[in-house]
Amino acid sequence: MGEQASTAPEKAAKGVKGARGAGGAAASGGKGAGGAAGSGGAASSGGKRAVAKKTGAAKPVKKAVSAKPVKKAGAAKPATEAAAAKSAKSVKKAAAAKPAKSVTKTAAKPESRTALVRRARRINRELAEVYPYAHPELDFENPFQLLVATVLSAQTTDLRVNQTTPALFAKYPTPEDLAAANPEDVEELIRPTGFFRAKTKSIMGLAAALRDEFGGEVPGRLEDLVKLPGVGRKTAFVVMGNAFGRPGITVDTHFGRLVRRWKWTEETDPDKVEKAVGELFPKSDWTMLSHRVIFHGRRICHARKPACGACPIAPLCPAYGEGETDPEKAKKLLKYEKGGFPGQRLKPPQSYLDAGGVPAPPLGATAPPATGE
């Protein structure tokens, strides 16, 4: 009994040493030591000396069993393994995320001013090849008709204006005639264009101003045009560029939408858009640039669902992918002559007809519907 009792503490002590070096073994060693201590207590009938030895040998064992480092060592292994596993997962996630971050950074790299100018002018050249027949899509025969038609085109399509103005100009061919008209009669004639009361006030007001201040003639200067009722910079540039051959940028909803998609500018105010885009091109390009961008916005780069898969300038467009990218599906979204539909003008230029364009039908006529925004 004495030998067995003295041997147990030695084994327990070895277990404690092993526990300090090997975590999991320490826990089982501690339990063994506890068992040996119990045997030492049972051997007390063998003499005080033996009891003293056993008791003395047992104390370190008890300390080892109750020692916090041993328990921590035993419990630390699973915690360490969990932490290591968690760390490994974090490393994997970080490693997987690195390529995406680098791609994003590359895509978000700022475009230099020189690169922007080159890309913008290349887009203009590409559009010139796609729309060699680009033109103002309002029917007119003189500056007065173009001025009135442009004012009427607010908040409606050029098609609807073109279907409305023949009757208006037949009854009131000159500014003097329109200025002296009965407002109710004018309202009835232009009703299809919407906001007909406000528009009647504008066109009759500008007709009176032309009669009283400009001798019945439409002025060709920006500062004079913007003084007329209902005439802003956009309308003035339409008239200047297409009736007088003076360069101007027409910032309508299509133009503003596209130049922002192309990252030519982030501005939303029409005057600021005009200034920003004008700085990218020589003045000689301004009028035709406006026509090409507006043509593209009406036919391919629509507001709600652009036909990205059928867009000839897709490689140059930062917004590619906002719309339908499948080529076959995109073709079904094309409008006007690109989609085989009639255009907006009842009397379009010959170049448009030669390119396959179809004249728009008169108001109330039965014909394939002209589509547009």
Residues catalogued as catalytic: 234, 252
DSSP codes joined into one string, 299-358: HTS-SSS--GGG-TTGGG-TTTTSS---HHHHHTT--GGGGT-B-S-SS--HHHHHTT-B
Distances (CA, A) of 205 to 25, 62, 89, 189: 100, 108, 74, 16
What angle separates helix 2-22 from helix 48-66, to the nearest 10 degrees? 20
Cα distance between residue 226 and residue 243, in whole Å: 16
* Pairwise CA distance, residues 294 & 304, whole Å: 15
Give the CA count within 13 Å in the CB-facing half-sphere of 1: 12
List all residues 6 or more positions away from 240 whose beta carbon is below 8 Å from its beta carbon: 220, 222, 225, 246, 247, 248
Identity of the residue numbered 284:
S
Cβ count near 69 (within 10 Å): 12
User: Residue 203 to residues 244, 277, 315, 361: CA-CA distances in angstroms?
Assistant: 20, 30, 43, 25
CA distance 61 to 56: 9
Residue type, 357: G
